[in-house]
Structures are given as structure tokens and as C-alpha cells.
Amino acid sequence: MILTVTLNAALDITYRVAALTPHATHRVGEVVERPGGKGINVARVLAALGHESVVTGFAGGATGAVLRGMLAPLAPHDALVEIAGTTRRTIAVTDGTSGDTTQLNETGPTVLPEEWAAFLSSYDSLLPEAEAVALCGSLPPGIHVGAYAELVRRARAAEVPVLLDTSGEPLRRGIAARPDLVKPNADELAQLTGSREPLRATRDARRRGAHTVVASLGPEGLLAATPDGTWQATPPEPVKGNPTGAGDSAVAGLLSGLVLGLPWPQRLSRAVALSTATVLAPAAGEFDAAAYEELLPRITVVEHAPAAPGK
């Protein structure tokens, strides 16, 4: 099975309006609620691809109960740890005229020391059965900034491949623990390395400790710096829709390719096709299956020349 960790789970709420206008009152045409948070989105996509997936992290309060109730009939297995605080909500407002989405994310509940200890015990018990583990998303209040570095080290000690998808100081500390793969977006990569040039920044991030770095470049797809080479995978054309969860679908594609032993160009094609098909889907944690199948053979993958010595 593939284990995904969501320390700051969320109830994702999507509002659809005819046109989003500042300072105006809007009538909502449709409301969609889904269990969310990056790792939960990853697990749902993995399940749709036919992989056994388990979600762990935290859930609590009335919102947490709703989230777990929605998760129960879905394929990912719920191994979330109950906490006293209330699970956060994320609000996406989709403009039907432009196709753009405005995102509002709550901070999340404070996790107590004893709740963190209970999570670590659960995490350690799940690792022996895992083919891979994904550590995803922001840290809720109460969790120390080196938490992901600690979880990376525990996964490595259990000899389980580990993917890290976070940002800021948790990413900086986590990458130093030498995860097998990190997946920042362009802004996160620039904050980590100080460079806005994707190829240079991706290779620099590898030197900071990650075995492989796969950077999300938005409409330009994914750029991967690996021990076997550097590739960029690009979708055939830009698409409009709800981008919430697109990066999570890319993570699912990378994990799927990892456990199946696919070569890097195929892993990247799968990840880009899933990410693009997620933008076209109505809610986070889902992808348009027909669009995915149509897009997969149309993804362009280009290999970059090796870096010059000292670069």
C-alpha cells in the first residue's frame, strides 16, 4: 500500500458563481464538498488508479467528523488520528465566466504534544506495510517546524521511499533529511534556492539533499532532476478550470510510477496528464478520467543535457 500523510487535513468546499465581482453579493449556483488536504487528495487519486492507499494525519471536531464521514465510503483507508481541535475548511470560488478560481484557506487547529505523540506511534506502525510514503501540505499550529524532517528520517530508517511536498522552512529542513523525492512548485523552489531559473534551481535543490526533485511549473508541466537525468514534461495546451488538487494529482502520478517501476519519462507523462485532467474536473481530489486517457499519449517529454561540471 501507499501511505499519505496529511497533518493539516481540510474539508474542501467549492462554490460556483456565474461571475465573481469584488464587493458584490453573489448567488452560488453549486456547492461541492469533499474530504481534502494534499495527502488525502493524493490518496484518492491513487485509489482511482487502482492502488491501495491509506491516509493518516489529524482530524477533529464537527468538520473533522464530516470529513471522515465523506471519506468512509471511498477507497482510501482512514487511519487519521483524532484531535481535540476542529479540522479546517478550504473555500474555492470558481468564476463561471473566466474559469478562474479564488482560494481561501483556514489555518487549521492546534495539535497538542500528546496528539503528536499518538500520531508518531500510528505512523511507525503503518510504515512496515508501505511501498512508499508521501508527506504533504502545511503544518498545523502546534507542530514543530522540523516535523517533516523527523518523518523523513523515520521512513528512511524503515527503508520506505519517501516523497515530500511542502514549502518554506518545513521544506528546507525536510530536504536536509534526504527524502527520495521532493515536489515543490516554482515559487517554493525559488524560495528554497534563491533562483528563478527552473533548471538551475531544481539541480541546486538536489544538492541540498533530495535524491530527486520534481518541480511543478504550472502550464509548462513538470521539470525533474534525477540521478538518471533531467527531463521536462509539458501538456499539449493550457487548460482552464479549478487548479485545486492539480499538484496533488501530479504527486499521485509520481508515486504510482515509483511503485510500478516505470522509467522517468513515463512517470512524468502520467503525472502531467493527471494534473491537467484534475484542472478539468469539478472538485479537488478528482480527475477527469476520459481527459486523462486522451492526454497521456500527447504529453511531450524532453531530456535536458547534463549540467556542466561545477554548475
- Give all strands (DSSP E) within the chain, no chain letters: 2-6, 10-17, 30-36, 53-60, 77-78, 81-83, 88-95, 101-105, 132-136, 162-165, 181-182, 212-216, 222-226, 229-234, 300-304
Sheet holding 101-105, edge to edge: 30-36, 10-17, 88-95, 101-105
- Cα–Cα distance measured from residue 292 to residue 41, given in angstroms and rounded to the nearest whole number: 16
Active-site position among 12, 165, 204, 248:
248
- Cα–Cα distance measured from residue 287 to residue 249, given in angstroms and rounded to the nearest whole number: 8
Give backbone dihedrals phi and psi of 234, rounded to 5 degrees, phi first. Answer: -130, 135
Task: Give yes or no: 248 in active site.
Answer: yes
Q: What is the DSSP letter of 241?
A: S
Q: Do residues 152 and 164 lie in contact, with contact meaning Cβ atoms separated by under 8 Å?
A: yes
Buried b (16+ CB within 10 A) or exposed e, 188-211: bbbbbbeeeebbebbbbbbeebbe
Convert 167-218 into a string of H (helix), E (strand) and C (coil): CHHHHHHHHHCCCCEECCEHHHHHHHHCCCCHHHHHHHHHHCCCCEEEEECH
* Kind of pairing between the strands at 77-78 and 30-36: unpaired
Active site residues: 248
